[in-house]
Chains A and B, each alone.
Chain A
Amino acid sequence: MKLFKHYFWKITLLLLLFIAMGLVIWLIVNIRNLYKTGELRPAREFHGNYIHTQIISSDQIQAWMTFSYINYIFNLPPNYLLGALNIKDNRYPNLGINQYAKEKKLNYVSFLASVKGFVNQYTKNTQ
C-alpha cells in the first residue's frame, strides 16, 4: 500500500500518457482513413483558390439547412423553391427546412425529399 501511495502520481501520469498516445494514434488513423476514402480533402489551396472536391448533389441537402443557403449553394433563383413547394411564410428564405416542416405539421422526411427532388430537377434542367 505504501509503495502504491509513493508511486501514485507516477502511475497516474503514465496511464494518462498512455491514453493520450492511444488517442493520438486513433486520431491519425481516423484522419488517414478519411483522407483515403476521399471524405477529407482540402477544398481550398493555400493561395486561396476554391476547389470543389466533391460535386455538390441534392442528396447532400439536410434538414437543418435554410432555403436561403440551398438557393445560394445550388445557384437557384430566389423564389424557385417558394413557388415549387408552395411555401407561405414571410420568413422565407431565412427559414430552415426542419423548422418549416415542424411548424406546418408536415412529414419532414417527405418534405425534405420533395426539396431534394425540386433542386435535382432544376440542376438537371439547367445543365
Chain B
Amino acid sequence: MSSLFQNILGFLLVYKYIALFFIAFLSSLGIPLPAGSSTMASAAFASQGYFNIFFVLITGALGNILGDVSMYVLSRKYGKKILYWFHLRKLVESKPLKQVEKMENNYSALAIIISRFQDQATAMVNVIAGLGNIKFKRFVIYATIGDILQIIFYASVGYFFAENWQAFYNTMGIFSWLIVLIATIISILLANKFARKMFK
C-alpha cells in the first residue's frame, strides 16, 4: 500500500463522508487521487459498522457527479481558449475534427460510462467531452449512470469483503488497466466506424 493511500485512509477515518466527497470530486477533476479504492475502503469500514453504507454511496456518487460536471463545464468554457493560446487554432477548427465532434454525440455513451471505472480515464474523457461539445444533458445522464455503477461496484467489493478488502486492493490495479484497455479497443473500433462513414 502506497504512503499516499495510507495518508488518504487516515484522512477518511478522521473526516469520514466529507473526505470521501472531496476525494471523489478532486479525482474527477483530474487530480490523481485513488477515488475507487477510497470508496472500497469506506464501504469496508461500513461493513464493520464504523461508516454508514448509504452515506458512503450517496457522498461518493455526489462527489463523482459534481466533479465530472465541473470538469466538463470548465473544459467546454475554457478548453478551446487554452488550445488557441497554445497556437492550436488550425487543429480545433479543422473540418475532420468538426465531423468527429458531430459523430461523437451519437457514440459517446459507452466511452463515458466505461471510463468512470478508471480514475485517470474519467478525467480525460470529461475534458474530451467538454472540448467535443457533447450535449450537456447527454453528458450528465451518461456520467451519472457510469458514476452510480462505479460506486456500486467498488462499494460492493469493500462491503462484502470487509476486513479482507486490502487483499483485493492490490488486484484492483490490474482490473483498472483492463478497463482502460477495453475502452481503448472500443474507441479504436468506433474510430474505424467514424472513418468509414466519413470517407464513404
- Which A residues form the contact surface with B (CB < 8 A)? 9, 12-13, 16-17, 19-20, 23-24, 26-27, 30-31, 34, 39-44, 50, 52-54, 56, 60, 62-66, 68-69, 72-73, 94-96, 98-99
Contacts and interface: CB of A to CB of B under 8 A. Distances in A.
Interface string B128-155: 0000000000000000000000000000
B107 interface: no
B192 to A, nearest CB: 6
Contacts, number: 95
B96 interface: no
A31 B171 contact: yes
Contacts of A40: 161, 164, 167-168
Contact of A68 (B13, B164, B188): B13
A16 B6 CA distance: 33
Interface string B150-183: 0000000001111110011001001101100110
A122 B22 CA distance: 36
16 contacts: A12-B188, A13-B188, A27-B175, A39-B167, A40-B161, A43-B47, A43-B160, A44-B160, A64-B6, A64-B10, A72-B48, A72-B50, A73-B48, A96-B13, A98-B6, A98-B10
Contact of B185 (A20, A52, A72, A99): A20
Contacts of B164: 39-43, 53-54
A17 to B, nearest CB: 6
A61 to B, nearest CB: 12
Interface of B: 6-7, 9-10, 13-14, 45, 47-50, 159-164, 167-168, 171, 174-175, 177-178, 181-182, 184-185, 188-189, 192
The 3 closest A-B pairs by CB, nearest first: A43-B162, A96-B10, A39-B167
A23 B189 CA distance: 20
Nearest to B15: A94
A64 B47 contact: no
A24 B14 CA distance: 36
A37 B71 CA distance: 43
B174 to A, nearest CB: 5
B37 to A, nearest CB: 13
A54 B181 contact: no
Contacts of A50: 47-49, 162
